Amino acid sequence: KVSAFMKAVIKGINYCFTHSAEEIAEAIQPGFTTTDKELLIKSVRRYMDIDAWKTVPTMTENSFDNLQNILLSAGSITEKVSYGADVVDNSIVEEIVAGQL
């Protein structure tokens, strides 16, 4: 089930690299029914401008640290945890990308 989910994530990422901000906003609009479409387009463009999407969704130690900083700032977590195999496991994504799953 995890590999099927990650394949869907990769498919979504690939869509983002091959479509315009307007097309992406149109595709995600059903998940943001209370958000104006122009704001969605602006948000997608911002993600594109800062190169937020990676071509392969692995979690590097730096990415993990940045995520935790965002979560700390938002108050979603109260302390950081160490990056490691017991927290981050990129093996399924690596196998999908290598064509083994």
Q: Is residue 63 part of a domain?
A: yes
CB proximity list for 65: less than 8 A, separation 6 or greater: 80, 83
Q: Is residue 97 part of a domain?
A: no
- At 24, the pLDDT band (50, 70, 90 cuts) reads very high
CB proximity list for 29: less than 8 A, separation 6 or greater: 37, 40
Q: What is the pTM of this model?
A: 0.68
Residue 67 belongs to domain spanning: 58-89
pLDDT over 70 at 101, yes or no: no
- Average pLDDT for the chain: 91
pLDDT in tens, 66-93: 899 999 999 999 999 999 878 999 999 9
DSSP secondary structure code for residue 17 in this structure: H
Specify the number of domains making up the chain. Answer: 2
Cα Rg of the chain, angstroms: 16
Same domain for 10 and 51, yes or no, is: yes
pLDDT over 80 at 14, yes or no: yes
